[in-house]
Amino acid sequence: MNTLVATPAAEPPPLAAPEDGRVSVVFHLCRIQFPGFRIPESAFRAHLDRAARLYLPKAEPEFTWPGFLDGLYALDWTVCCGCLEGLDSAWEALFNARTGRSDCLLIDALRARAGRLYPRNEERQESAVAEFWSHLIVSESASGVGVLFRYDGQRPLAPWLIRVFQNWHLSKLRSNGGAVALPDDDIAQPIPTGTKSDTRWHEAFCTAALTWLSGMDDHERLLLGLRWRYKMSQREVAGLLGVHEGTISRQTDKLRDHALEIIGTRLVADGWTGDEEDLRDFILTEMGGVLLDDPRLSADQLAALLKAKGKELPG
């Protein structure tokens, strides 16, 4: 069991003091839920201050302690704090955490993502998960901090770790010049304010997105896979398929606009009340997970579509 304790660089003075009564309530609630977590209240408050600093630049329209505490996923955040404090019981809770979409263990969800990142390479899949797990509290660089030190408690922990895992390996694949079976950077964007705790929007999105994907022909699926999952530029796709770059540009715009129309119409019909920009951001944020999970856009399926055209991805 991982019991390392890492200490980040010295932090600036604390923010204005939060409401002590509310913080005490959160502290004792978490102690009741996790009686085996022996986190001193002083450490609990220090971690709370650090998490608030992480959230500070993202707060809209401005940071307030009541707003931060209202949005805190207190139990997930406490598990994170326990890991940072080196508690075996907290590491066990993290290892056994369930992911929201399939209710599978976090570690199994990471392995599934690794399988899509490195298809047919079981050794790399296992090392990818082990490497990520080893850097949860110890940074891979001397100037950085571990992954868990970057968790602000404002979203569920397990899905957040899965997204960080995906983006971490996306960066590695890009730096190595390999083909990347991952969606655009939009997967890393936070869910817009006001929707992060409402799972019905995610469910409505998935239903609409699958309807949109099911209406595509093979060429559209191939284009979507090359542009969104493999991060190929319009010029690279045009060269691979032997068509004019302007053709790829028009087809890409058409796919994006159609997705926004189909999915946006469904969400509005279901009661979405945010503005058009928030709706667009939400769709692009959620799209990454759907593209990664849909078997019709798997690495093997896209390779088969290319083979049918007498093409293959450059090595």
Residues 262, 144: one domain?
Answer: no
Residues 171, 206: one domain?
Answer: no
pTM attached to this predicted model: 0.56
Decide if 31 contacts 37 (C-beta within 8 A). Answer: yes
Long-range CB pairs of 111-118 (<8 Å, 24+ gap) are: 113/162, 113/165, 113/166, 113/292, 114/165, 114/169, 116/181, 116/182, 116/292, 116/298, 116/299, 117/166, 117/169, 117/173, 117/181, 117/182
Per-10-residue mean pLDDT, the chain, length 315: 47 56 87 89 91 86 85 91 94 83 74 81 89 88 85 88 83 59 34 43 83 89 83 86 89 86 84 69 74 78 88 74
Q: What pLDDT, on the 0 to 100 scale, is given for residue 199?
A: 60
Q: Which amino acid is at 57?
A: P
Decide if 201 contacts 264 (C-beta within 8 A). Answer: no
Residues 108, 233: one domain?
Answer: no
Q: Among 147, 178, 209, identify where a domain stops.
A: 178
Domain range enclosing 280: 199-308
Residue 315 in domain? no
Residues 170, 273: one domain?
Answer: no
Q: What pLDDT, on the 0 to 100 scale, is given for residue 92?
A: 92
Q: Which amino acid is at 261?
A: E
Domain count, the chain: 2
